[in-house]
Amino acid sequence: MAKKEAAIDALLSENRVFEPSRDFRSRALWNDPSIYERAAKDPEAFWAEQAASVSWLRKWDRVVEWNPPWVKWFLGGKLNAAYNCLDRHVEDGGGDKVAYYWEGEPGEERVLTYRDVYLEVCRLANGLKSLGVKKGDRVAIYLGMVPELPIAMLACARLGAPHSVVFGGFAASALRDRINDAEAKVLITADGGYRRGQVVPLKQNAEEAIRECPSIRHVVTVRRTGGDHPFTAGRDLWYQDLIAEQPAECPPEPMDAEDLLYILYTSGTTGKPKGIVHTTGGYMVGVATTHRFIFDIHDDDVYWCAADIGWVTGHSYIVYGPLANHATGILYEGAPDWPDKDRLWSIVEKRKATILYTAPTAIRAFMRWGPEYPDKHDLSSLRLLGTVGEPINPEAWVWYWKYIGTERCPIVDTWWQTETGMILITPLPGITALKPGSATRPFPGIEADIYDEHGHTVGPGSGGYLVLKRPWPAMFRTIYKDPERYVQTYFSKYSPDVYLAGDGAKRDDDGYFWLLGRIDDVMNVAGHRISTYEVESALVDNPRVAEAAVVAKSDPEVGQAIVAFVTLKAGQVGDQTVATELREHVAKVIGKIARPHAIIFTDDLPKTRSGKIMRRLLRDVAEGRQLGDVTTLANAEIVEQIRDMASVRTGED
């Protein structure tokens, strides 16, 4: 067996609990655990108190109206999200503080203060107004990670025009479907974006998409990469020309707390993406509060959420939460391994980032590349780390702790969804003792539980359905134009006041939550319910393995047989011996029942464009079925490759 790093092994083996250091605790914004009881006793009062983090044009009359499954928060309140993110900080003398340090993939830098962002948002808002955009009109945004992306979102918010951001890595058809679903009037895009040294042809994709988008009247294009582009007179404008002549004053539209702020589509991991609707007041309170206290934001922090703004993580924790909190952030345009695999660490060092928030898929890639890349840089500015998007395997957690946090930084493993709008299950870094792989506890004011099939709470150690039993301010209000799907998908399994998250979870004896992946991904092997995530974690625990995805295939004998798709670390060769070793390793870690029936070695795994493993496609492959919805698949070629390999099984029982 390949040698596992002794240090990592030691950290994992003793079931160690990671307590916040005395220093961290004493400086943390929240360090008194009584916050949990206080919030649980009177959640409405708790959220009413948190609502003071937002500036209201008119104060709300009522905290919440829960008419299950429909909810309204801060009824009667008026506010503007852009005002909260920008104007009030400039008015308070904070205009010179850096809002974003931006770095382009080819290496350019821009430093934008709150005043810079404010002025450009006003100009763009006036520009959009001149194109006829007004309150309630939808605007589609299809950009890479450039400063114009948050600026465009805030310009829309200023006018009360809901935005629908489409991730810049999507192809024309995905863009077309999202524009049509929202019936957007204007599209804001760029001529191109940089990714791994190549130009992503955004405008070209947009041209292809809008051929079939009758609602689009204007296309505003940011000049980023240069080159010639077809231009349709009357429809097309350059962003730079549109804002050039506009006045830098634009009164923010007073919005009702329940007015639509944006529409955003889910990742499409489990099926066709859903158009999630977020409104203004509760959302702003929810994201500002969670961002401030989970990331423990102090005035001197340099906070880096390395997600793409095209996902909810970017909406809530790159744009609305951090700007509402007057935080300084980092935006990076390109790939983490361009020009080399230390790009992120060079940015951390250069900007002296203090907080880094990224995804397990990225952490597993860093592990695969090896610690020599972070080791080349001074990461001593970091004081807090975060993760989101998938369950994080303990192995990856400990690697992150050791090599990125250099054994000093708490890690907040944050569970939430596009639907929830804000983080719901998470450590509080100055309070919570951490266990690698556990998202720990619900945020104060949040009531989460784990139910069995019949709606009874399951005891410690048993897996079940994660549910939320009380509304929270940033929750979605519906699925755009499909309220029926809202009710059906999330509120029909138990009763209309119980939100079904769609994820499996279990609690341990300390009441900590452990996320087990999607309900759809739970396998039934000879009558035992086994989560794909647990088998994957056991595989990744083997030092040869970089990443693994596990699915069940119907089997006449045992009901379902486990098939594992495994990516090995650089230099490892997947052969019969290794397959046997891995099968035995799983048997040792979990038990014989979980030993994969077949192991298929592959160069990569099918992932959504937000980096999540799409097990449903692997299930289709394992079952020899036609593939389901592939519009959100990032690496189409790999599915074909896996399909070919699946016919030449390695390591079959």
Distance CA 280, CA 283 (A): 5
Residue 591 contacts by C-beta under 8 Å, 6 or more apart in sequence? Answer: none
Distance CA 556, CA 578 (A): 27
Residue 519 contacts by C-beta under 8 Å, 6 or more apart in sequence? Answer: 465, 502, 503, 504
With CB under 6 A as the contact rule, the residue among 87, 390, 449, 521 that binds ligand ATP is: 390
| DSSP 8-state secondary structure symbol assigned to residue 417 | -
For position 610 contacting ligand ATP by CB under 6 A, the verdict is: yes
Query: What crossing angle do the helices spanning 172-182 and 202-210 adopt, rounded to 10°?
Result: 50
For position 277 contacting ligand ATP by CB under 6 A, the verdict is: no
Of residues 535 and 578, the one with the C-beta less far from ligand ATP: 535
Residue whose tokens read 């109206």: 65
In the structure encoding, which two tokens stand for residue 407, read together? Answer: 């054994």
For position 613 contacting ligand ATP by CB under 6 A, the verdict is: no
For position 444 contacting ligand ATP by CB under 6 A, the verdict is: no
Please name the amino acid found at residue 110.
R
Q: How far is the CB of 357 from ligand ATP (least distance, A)?
A: 11
Residue count at the site for ligand ATP (CB under 6 A)? 27
For position 266 contacting ligand ATP by CB under 6 A, the verdict is: yes
Q: Which does residue 393 touch among Mg ion, ligand ATP, none (CB within 5 to 8 A, set by kind)?
A: none
Q: How far is the CB of 507 from ligand ATP (least distance, A)?
A: 14
With CB under 6 A as the contact rule, the residue among 50, 113, 221, 269 that binds ligand ATP is: 269
Q: Which does residue 414 touch among ligand ATP, Mg ion, none (CB within 5 to 8 A, set by kind)?
A: ligand ATP
Backbone φ and ψ for 119, nearest 5 degrees, come out as -65, -40
For position 417 contacting ligand ATP by CB under 6 A, the verdict is: yes
Cα distances from 437 to residues 100, 157, 448, 544, 610, in angstroms, run 31, 37, 18, 20, 20
Residue among 74, 262, 251 nearest 166 (CA): 262
Q: Which does residue 273 touch among ligand ATP, Mg ion, none (CB within 5 to 8 A, set by kind)?
A: ligand ATP
For position 318 contacting ligand ATP by CB under 6 A, the verdict is: no
> Per-residue DSSP letters for 162-207?
-EEE--TT--HHHHHHHHHHHT-SEEEEES-EEETTEEE-HHHHHH
Q: How far is the CB of 417 from Mg ion (least distance, A)?
A: 5
CB 585 within 8 A of CB 403: no
Q: How far is the CB of 521 from Mg ion (least distance, A)?
A: 12
Q: In a 3-state reduction of DSSP, which class is residue 348?
A: helix
Q: How far is the CB of 193 from ligand ATP (least distance, A)?
A: 21
Angle formed at CA 130 by CA 129 and CA 131, multiple of 5 degrees: 85
Q: Per-residue x/- marks for ligand ATP, 496-535, CB under 6 A?
A: -----xxx-----------x--x-----------------
Please name the amino acid found at residue 510.
D
Please list every residue from 257 through 276 that binds Mg ion, using CB under 5 A.
266
Distance CA 74, CA 289 (A): 15
Q: How far is the CB of 274 from Mg ion (least distance, A)?
A: 8
Residue count at the site for Mg ion (CB under 5 A)? 1
With CB under 6 A as the contact rule, the residue among 146, 190, 439, 646 that binds ligand ATP is: 439
Residue whose tokens read 């605007």: 139
Window of 264-272, 300-308, 574-582, 599-607 that interacts with ligand ATP by CB under 6 A: 264-272
Q: How far is the CB of 93 from ligand ATP (least distance, A)?
A: 37
Q: How far is the CB of 268 from ligand ATP (least distance, A)?
A: 4
Q: Per-residue x/- marks for ligand ATP, 338-377, CB under 6 A?
A: ----------------------------------------
Q: Which does residue 389 touch among ligand ATP, Mg ion, none (CB within 5 to 8 A, set by kind)?
A: ligand ATP
> Per-residue DSSP letters for 130-167?
HTT--TT--EEEE--SSTHHHHHHHHHHHHT--EEE--
Q: How far is the CB of 439 from ligand ATP (least distance, A)?
A: 5
Laid out side by side, the sheet with 218-222 consists of 236-238, 218-222, 186-190, 139-142, 163-165, 260-265, 275-279, 478-479
Q: How far is the CB of 390 from Mg ion (least distance, A)?
A: 11
What Rg value do the Cα atoms of the chain yield, rounded? 24
Of residues 87 and 503, the one with the C-beta less far from Mg ion: 503
With CB under 6 A as the contact rule, the residue among 164, 280, 358, 414 that binds ligand ATP is: 414
Using CB under 5 A, list all residues that contact Mg ion: 266
Using CB under 6 A, list all residues that contact ligand ATP: 266-271, 273, 311-312, 388-391, 413-418, 439, 501-503, 515, 518, 610, 612
